[in-house]
Amino acid sequence: MAPIGPVVGILLRLLGKTPAGYPIPTASREKNEMADKESLVIGSKIKAYIKTKGLMCSGDLADAVSQLVRDALDKAATRTQSNKRSTVRPHDL
């Protein structure tokens, strides 16, 4: 595959054209994918907390806690929008 020049690449991206082998990242798609994959909690903190209870935790506990947090924040965001606000507050949870 022949490299394309930076100016040509920028122009193609602005026009929404994808040269073969050069995917054009979509901001909203990347943002959504990152939001779905990124952990919202600190696994070591969860593990330390569980350890204070005299228990052990499985390796996928942090992912499950992160999903619970994500679900709660999604509901809070929906409530915020339905109240025609742009700031999520604790009472939205």
Q: Same domain for 47 and 92?
A: yes
How many folded domains does the chain comprise?
2
Contact present, 84 and 91 (Cβ < 8 Å): no
Divide the 93 residues of the chain into consecutive groups of 10 and give the mean pLDDT of each group.
Answer: 62 65 57 71 95 95 94 96 96 95
Q: Do residues 50 and 92 share a domain?
A: yes
For residues 14 and 49, state if they share a domain: no
25 and 60 co-located in one domain: no
**Are 27 and 55 within one domain?**
no
The pLDDT, as a whole number, for residue 49 is 96
Same domain for 43 and 31, yes or no, is: no
Q: How many CA atoms lie within 13 A of 15 on its CB side?
A: 9
Supply the range of the domain harboring residue 58: 39-93
Which residues, 6+ apart, have CB-to-CB distance to 80 below 8 Å?
Answer: 86, 87, 88, 89, 92
pTM here is 0.61
Among 38, 91, 33, which residue's Cα sits nearest to residue 63?
38
Percent of the chain exceeding pLDDT 90 equals: 59
